Amino acid sequence: MLINIFGGIARTDRIARGVVGALEELGGAQVPVVVRLEGTNVDEGRRILREAPFHFIVAEQMADAAEKVVAAAKGGA
């Protein structure tokens, strides 16, 4: 699964907390989850994802996200 957030002025730390909260409600994910964030507070958002109780694959750029999704789909992530 690829979650691509380009927030601009949106606070990506809040978005990251929402993504973590959604997975908590769902009881986790059955597939690898690659997340690419860009916007305000992006470093904090990425930290939240990396420290979450779920395994998020955090991508820096869109091309990086695409490569990580392909690798995860092939079982390499």
The domain covering 2-73 belongs, at the CATH homologous superfamily level, to Succinyl-CoA synthetase domains (3.40.50.261)
Domain boundaries, the chain: 2-73
- What's the pLDDT score for residue 27? 92
The amino acid present at 40, given as its one-letter code, is T
In this model, does residue 75 exceed pLDDT 80? yes
- What's the pLDDT score for residue 38? 93
Q: 2-54: per-residue pLDDT in tens?
A: 999 987 888 999 999 999 999 999 999 889 999 999 999 999 999 999 999 99
Q: What is the pTM of this model?
A: 0.87
- What's the pLDDT score for residue 8? 80
- What's the pLDDT score for residue 53? 94
Half-sphere exposure of 68 (CA within 13 A, CB side): 20
Cβ neighbours for 4, distance < 8 A, ≥ 6 positions apart: 36, 62, 65
